[in-house]
Amino acid sequence: QVQLQESGPGLVEPSGTLSLTCAVSGASISSTDWWSCVRQPPGKGLEWIGQIYHTGITTYNPSLKSRVTLSVDESKNHFSLTLTSMTAADTAVYYCATSSYYRVEFRGQGTMVTVSS
Amino acid sequence: QSALTQPASVSGSPGQSITISCAGTTSDVGGYNYVSWYQHHPGKAPRLMIFDVSNRPSGVSNRFSGSKSGNTASLTISGLQAEDEADYYCSSYTTSSTYVFGTGTKVTVL
């Protein structure tokens, strides 16, 4: 069973950059899975951020595409999310997930990221 | 892409059946049979309840069922139980090879 563990900074300053890592266990990141990130702002709904395949192929939410980058590190068996120009609207719980077979499956417990000075 | 439209809240008494709708477009819900449903209890990770419109993952009660007609998908919970009280989200794969979630529905067991 694939499990994912999110690691994030907890607090990001306005206009700063979020770097979040999703560690993969129970599978190789070079398997046939797609890897996704999803977020949920406080009191709001779920928002899909984007996905990446181990070869580096990515697709992103059009509303975030200009600020988002997903990357894979096969040697560390993890993938990473970078989100630039952070504002208060980016405050959310960020989840790591798989998105193979045309469905998102949440494999991590999520990590809270707050944008504040 | 716009979020799929769900009712903000649905309620029912124990033992009753409720249905949650999920309205999209021909670019998402209507485009493929790739609609999923999630149960989300606060503080926990969302749990996949239905995939590919009407399929249940192993371990999900058969009280949960899904369907689709045109651009609208539905989740039905029969024999409502107190433990079913949670937020529910639909999601669809899109013709742009992305995913979109619904606005979310709070289910209350009276």
CA dihedral B35, B30, B103, A60 (to 10 degrees): 80
Structure confidence at residue A32 (pLDDT): 74
- pLDDT tens digit sequence for A92-114: 999 999 998 999 999 999 999 99
Q: Which of A104, A107, A109 to mutate to test the interface with B (most CBs of B within 10 A)?
A: A104
pLDDT of residue A34 exceeding 80: yes
Average pLDDT over residues A14-38: 94
Which residue, among B38, B41, B49, B99, would best test binding to A if mutated, counting the most A CBs under 10 Å from its CB? B99
The pLDDT confidence band at residue A1, using thresholds 50, 70 and 90, is confident
